[in-house]
A = this chain, B = another copy of it.
């Protein structure tokens, strides 16, 4: 049995038995884990103290939010833009734009600026070259106004009682703050690529967040709807929680899936994550 599977089993066992363990305190918990995992493994199986979340797709519905705002705009302007295709094309420019930063072709650049570069290249394709600068800026900030999935606020509110919760996103801090205030996301603090000047899945993006939290990687669980994000987090020593978001890409692309046991926690949504963590 791999260490990560042992870790997951111990965590599940721990959280399912938290009521009885609570009476014995932290020493008893460590002992319980130690008995299950053996000493060396118990040392790496720290009690999780913070949960960090991918945001685009995991906490908020970027595609549905852009379509909803775009369709309202179509109606107001008498336009007929295909906002689903627009959203997909915008998002498709995201990884290549970050790669330019990763390869040093661009210096550190906030995601707002990358989004604007992609937007400017898309507007002619959709017959929108005539937008004013103010309108372009307003559209670029649609990423600041993305709506949470229906379970996100309730799930995060439950998790916050027991754990520090923060986004660990490629979004810049101002974007994530506006998004939180727009959607009522109750983060304790905002972490992400901008404080590390490195985009996920770069090592620095994860380990800067862990360092700012004053924790060890094993005390932090990365929560995401994307397998790649979790595989990177695991390779740097963080715990992992998969959150299934079957509607992220609409009809255009299959969302990631995970089997039970593939990650430390495999969950249906953030409320299910709260339940599995005993929060």
Contacts and interface: CB of A to CB of B under 8 A. Distances in A.
Interface of A: 110, 112, 164, 172-177, 180-181, 187-190, 194-195, 212-215
A243 to B, nearest CB: 22
Contacts of A214: 110, 112, 172-175
Most interface-central of A173, A175, A180, A194 (chain B CB within 10 A)? A173
Contact of A213 (B177, B189, B212): B177
A212 B164 contact: no
Contacts of A172: 212, 214
As for how many copies of this chain the complex holds, the number is 2
B164 A181 contact: yes
A173 B195 CA distance: 12
Given A164-B181, A189-B189, A189-B190, A173 B212 contact: yes
Contacts of A212: 172-174, 194-195
A177 to B, nearest CB: 5
Contacts of A180: 188-189
Nearest to A189: B190
Nearest to A187: B189
Most interface-central of A112, A177, A189 (chain B CB within 10 A)? A189
Most interface-central of A172, A187, A188 (chain B CB within 10 A)? A188
Given A174-B215, A177-B189, 9 more contacts: A173-B189, A173-B214, A174-B212, A175-B214, A181-B188, A189-B189, A189-B190, A194-B212, A195-B212
